[in-house]
Chains A and B, each alone.
Chain A
């Protein structure tokens, strides 16, 4: 009787016991810090003297009134939309290509995942060197082999040339994952749909337009959202290649947040930036998901 009772208790609490380790991380090291960041954003917080004084909305008002932040926010949107848009378009084309049989396909596919396996920081360092103005092989190839430029270009020396390259690298690192997810969903489209369509005399393009695209649409729309959040928050590429420079010409929200926090030691203002990033992404995601579910119906 007693043992049975103990067993019952164990049955009841067992699910909770198994959730405890993950709950420690998820509540202690994710949810609690988020709330903490929101609180710090209402304080002037000096890291060195560790003094905190409540300032209400001061940090937020500063950000909204500072033209630099407005410019950086706009640039973040351009960065995110071009990287995600470029990735999606290229990934759609490449998924179609990798769906075709060709010799050595396994090898090509293996090489294809290299940018995904290489960390963002390492990829950014590789490109930083490839784009080097005097010793870089990009300038050499463009100048001596292809003859499209007359003299070496300092690609990362001005915002005008650095920013497009950052976007290029952003797309380069995002492509394998996005392509493979789209490819996996393309290959799960029932084959008999295609056969029926072929019997009706549809061309390859028509089959792609009327069967493949509608079938993979949900996956495409979700990868756009996932990529949007990831790219908006992406720190290493820009930090490693330009550190947001020259001056602030390639800064986005996350790099300015980092500078505010760990260069200027302004934790309060940096936390306000963090909260704004979160609120913005949250609103975007909610609207996007509502729009998606409306369209599904």
Chain B
């Protein structure tokens, strides 16, 4: 009996140490950034480096709005994210509705073509897409960026949406259609309310994708006033490699909104994926 107790204590200790090590591993770069963001520039360059700021200040979090064009970057990011999220969610929901709930001979083919696009990464597409946007005079245009983002995020969004629509009971839908609901009516009146959690997942997932997308935003947009957050901060890193008190503050502010959104959808995305892969 005693040995069982001892064994349990050992397990608890091992788990405890592992969890603390994990937290340090994950948080290290954020703790470094927080440490710097709470210091004045003078303190960072005082010649001494140390972990706990001696005179912690929130100044940097106020100054980034004037020192970096942070408000504009943020606005651009929000525009791109809302645009991408709207376009991708609507197109994906319509496609998934059709693929999961309607009879069409090429449904399987279409779904496979959608999945096959996962083989093409943005980097393989960047040159022709860049040329296309230049030709139609839509480089340096947030709507152009929204279109590219939508194209890249759409296949996976359709895949997620397909799972949600597939789980909708077919007989309810048929009853609704017999009662005279049109296709769109059925979509908005019958299906949407029931799969709302799934739709929230799609909206947030596509929003977060656009927030985190870097390659297109970095390549397509060259005008400073149209840049999104990540690209704007990166420009600042390259031009003012000394102002890390502002850079780290801006980085931390840029991480927070998406982190909060991820907390909401994390389980839905992971389960949708684990199940999708399992099939």
Contacts and interface: CB of A to CB of B under 8 A. Distances in A.
Partners in one complex: yes
Contacts of A206: none
A149 interface: no
B155 interface: yes
Contacts of B151: 25-26, 28-30
Main secondary structure of the interface of A (DSSP, over half): helix
Contacts of A258: 123, 126, 219
A110 interface: yes
B102 A14 contact: yes
Contacts of B258: 117-119
Given A94-B22, A102-B15, A113-B266, A236 B255 contact: no
Contacts of A26: 113-114, 117, 151, 154-155
Question: 3 smallest A-B Cβ distances: which pairs?
Answer: A119-B212, A29-B151, A15-B104
A18 B129 contact: no
Given A14-B183, A113-B262, A257-B123, A126 B214 contact: no
B123 A277 contact: yes
A150 to B, nearest CB: 15
Contacts of B29: 123, 126-127, 129-130
A115 B26 contact: yes
Interface string B34-69: 011000000011000111000000000000000000
A140 B50 contact: yes
B90 A21 contact: yes
A267 B132 CA distance: 13
A277 B128 contact: no
A120 B27 contact: no
A36 B18 contact: no
Interface in B171-214: 183, 208, 211-214
Interface in A136-186: 136-141, 144, 172, 177, 180-181, 183-185
A117 B98 CA distance: 31
B127 A261 contact: yes
B271 interface: yes
6 contacts: A19-B95, A108-B19, A114-B27, A130-B33, A140-B49, A275-B124
Interface residues on A, range: 35 or more
A15, A128, A140, A235, most chain B CB atoms within 10 A: A15
A114 B23 CA distance: 11
B30 A184 contact: no
B169 to A, nearest CB: 19
A181 B113 contact: no
A61 B130 CA distance: 25
Contacts of B155: 26, 30
B147 to A, nearest CB: 7
A282 B237 CA distance: 36
Given A125-B233, A219-B277, A274-B127, A120 B23 contact: no
A37 interface: yes
Interface string A22-46: 1011101111111011001000000
Given A15-B104, A128-B237, A116 B262 contact: yes
A211 interface: no
Contacts of A282: 119
A116 B44 CA distance: 29
Contact of B270 (A117, A127, A180): A180
B106 to A, nearest CB: 9
B181 to A, nearest CB: 13
B107 A15 contact: yes
A82 interface: no
B125 A120 contact: no
Given A18-B183, A130-B29, A235-B215, 9 more contacts: A26-B151, A37-B124, A117-B261, A119-B213, A119-B230, A121-B214, A121-B218, A122-B233, A137-B49
A275 to B, nearest CB: 8
A233 interface: yes
Interface in A255-297: 257-258, 261-262, 267, 270-271, 274-275, 277-278, 281-282, 285
A29 B129 contact: yes
Given A130-B29, A188-B274, A281 B119 contact: yes
A100 B255 CA distance: 29
A114 B91 contact: no
Contacts of B212: 118-122
B39 to A, nearest CB: 10
Nearest to A128: B237
B110 interface: yes
A267 B154 CA distance: 26
B220 to A, nearest CB: 11
A94 B131 CA distance: 44
